[in-house]
Amino acid sequence: MNSTAESRLQDLPILNTRLHYMDNLRALAMLAGVFFHGALAYSPMLHSLWPAADAQQSPIVDYIVWFTHLFRMPLFFLIAGFFVAYLVQKRGMGSMLKNRALRILLPLIIFLPLCIWAVIAPLLAAVPSVHAKSPVMEMIVTAMANPGTPPPPPTTMHLWFLYNLVFFCVLTWVLHYVNWQWLRAYFNQITPALFLAIFPLLLVPALLSVAAPLPAPDSFLPQLWSFGFFGLFFALGYWIFSTENFIDRFKSYGFMLLIMSVVLYIIFYWLIPKHFILGPSPLVFWKKLAVALCETYISVWMSLACLVWGKTYLNVHNRFMRFMSDSSYWIYIVHLPLIFALQYPMMDKDWSLLAKYSATMTLTLAVGVLSYLLLVRWTPIGWMLNGRR
């Protein structure tokens, strides 16, 4: 950008204002992922696929966690797109790519191998010592007894969101040279009610090709459906940044969106198989279409409701929330190895489900926060994740 354009951009209020509600919503979305993953050990739906699946299960876990799952990551990618647009407008496309390479690509390169090791090592240690083995542990025992068993495909694990964000940022740079003014002009004129009806339909084709509830696109081979789903949320956030008063237009819809999303979730949960199945959906087409429609409308409506409530109630400077916003990135990176390492010894304990879950979450968050304070906050790791303070 030339100096005159940069000067005009610096005068825009949004470029010189700390967007506390966006920071806080992003932190809450990431921390919700910690609680989500901690609960999966007690999910009947994921019992056959979760390494630390406990003998104690409850359908109540599924009722709760899969609802938040449908909009937690869509909201995160929407906010990620918003902040990428912020960086482009404030610093330029080149500086955005440099910033995202430091904040996203470098952490992925550094922490993914460490997280894979930190997940595999406790699992292999737990296999011979845990008596109440999960189905995944039983599969590992069988694989160990048959040396010719092929290894599982490489995975990006819970850091798949970083892997996807790298692609989305590169696509932002590529598509920056395309003239999208006609599309922007159309969406700028659309009414809130029409947007709520139409935009979710754009996401349906992506979800028709995957299992339900929507899985994590954690393969090293880019999952095209995630570009058509999470990528569109990223694009939505990018567009919201430059659309005046977009969130304010939905203020009167917040509570209604929650009610309608809950109704759709009841239908969604009634239709889906109660045991998660990898690969093509076993549902007939009309059921698969109904499930995909429920997923897309819930994800869009609840993401918008969260933006409305976030701007209303979380747009304040709060020392606790600022600390959680700063630390949430690190906590999310380390949380999955911690959860597994804590849950394996508990699998043979005669504790209640609630006691196991509470202990897991308390210790995971405690270790995450303490390690952030001691090892990250004032160190080069913290500068890499959050920038210099």
In which band, very low, low, confident or very high, does the pLDDT at 248 lie, cut at 50, 70 and 90?
Answer: very high
61/72 Cα distance (integer angstroms): 16
CA distance 54 to 164: 31
Residue 43 has a pLDDT of 96
The tens digit of pLDDT for each residue in 340-358 reads 999 999 999 999 999 999 9
Given this model, what pLDDT does residue 40 score?
97
Residue 115: CB atoms within 10 Å: 19
pLDDT at 70 over 70: yes
Where residue 1 falls among pLDDT bands split at 50, 70, 90? very low
127-136, 150-159, 233-242: the lowest-pLDDT one: 150-159
Average pLDDT over residues 59-88: 96
pLDDT value at residue 383: 92
Question: What amino acid occupies position 224?
Answer: L
| Residue 73, token pair as written in the block | 């990551």
Q: Give the pLDDT of residue 67.
A: 96
Confidence (pLDDT) at 31:
96
Of the candidates 79, 98, 78, the residue with the CA atom closest to the CA atom of residue 88: 98
Look at residue 17 and tell me whether its pLDDT is greater than 90.
no
pLDDT at site 185 = 75
Contacts of 221 (CB under 8 A, 6+ apart): none
Residue 261 contacts residue 298 (beta carbons within 8 Å): yes
Overall average pLDDT of the 85-109 stretch: 95
| Residue 219, helix vs strand vs coil | strand
pLDDT of 302 over the 70 cut: yes
Query: What confidence score (pLDDT) does residue 146 get?
Result: 84
The yes-or-no verdict on residue 199 having pLDDT over 90 is yes
Q: Which of 274-278, 307-311, 335-339 has the lowest mean pLDDT?
A: 274-278
> Phi then psi for 144, rounded to 5 degrees?
-65, -30
Q: For 110-154, how does the pLDDT look when each residue is reduced to its tens digit (9 = 90+)?
A: 999 999 999 999 999 999 999 999 999 999 999 888 887 788 888
Lowest-confidence range among 3-7, 74-78, 364-368, 379-383? 3-7
Name, in order, each residue with C-beta under 8 angstroms of 324's C-beta and a sequence gap of 6 or more: 24, 27, 31
Pair 347, 301: CB distance under 8 Å: no
- Cα separations (Å) of 166 from 207, 228, 249, 277, 367? 21, 15, 31, 28, 28
